Amino acid sequence: MIRSLNEALRRIPVPLVWLAGAIPFALLLWDTLTGGLGVEPIREIEHRLGRTALYFLVASIGVTPLLRLTGISLMRFRRALGVLCFAYAVPHVLAWVVMDMGLLWGQMARDIVKRPYLLFGMLSFVLLLPLALSSNDWSIRSLGGKAWRNLHKAVYVAAPLAALHWLWAVKVNEPAPLFWLVAILSLLGLRLVVRRRLNLQTLFRGSKKQA
């Protein structure tokens, strides 16, 4: 069954993932043009862009645990998921910088220092920036596979920071950001468990050969 599913997934063209990834932006644009953003349109734009970025970020870091635990491979879509995350993170930040803060750089700097959720968000964005810029074959060849993989481990710091940004930003007891923070920490925990298991298996095989 898993083999059949993976064969079906391999037949899905990657551009289709990009097309599906544009749907949330199209819906946001439609609501913006038709007045469907509620009484605080700027905040709604910021929040929807930020939430969508986080969803794609979680999807991208969930690809490897899914493969290790179930055998289902979405690896060929992982790059698209990661870049889609950044594609929503950029307008999320721009909406805050331009529409919310009106390009008042001094006020922005003071707010980032004063409000932890802004600091978490900016740190996450800064960590994601080099990952998005290097998500291409040329960067892999230029940096070398090992250096490229080490660079992209920054996503495991950026993801919980992004979830903390959302959790700290809400002013009411909203369960969604806590759920996503727990989901991210669970995925990172699974990654560590699987990696440790693989290391132990490798060590065990090596000791058997020596014996």
Contact (Cβ atoms closer than 8 angstroms) between residue 187 and residue 61 = yes
Contact (Cβ atoms closer than 8 angstroms) between residue 59 and residue 81 = yes
Contact (Cβ atoms closer than 8 angstroms) between residue 120 and residue 162 = yes
The one-letter amino acid at 104: L
Mean pLDDT of the chain: 90
Regarding pTM above 0.85, the answer is yes
Mean pLDDT confidence for 84-99: 97
What's the CA gap between 7 and 160, in Å, rounded? 33
Question: pLDDT tens-digit profile of 38-53?
Answer: 899 999 999 999 999 9
Domain definitions of the chain by residue range: 2-210
pLDDT of residue 134: 95
pLDDT of residue 65: 87
Question: Binning pLDDT at 50, 70 and 90, where does residue 98 land?
Answer: very high
pLDDT of residue 198: 63
Mean pLDDT confidence for 83-108: 95
Most confident of 8-12, 22-26, 187-191: 22-26
What's the CA gap between 42 and 16, in Å, rounded? 30
For tokens 């990654």, the residue is: 191
pLDDT of residue 200: 59
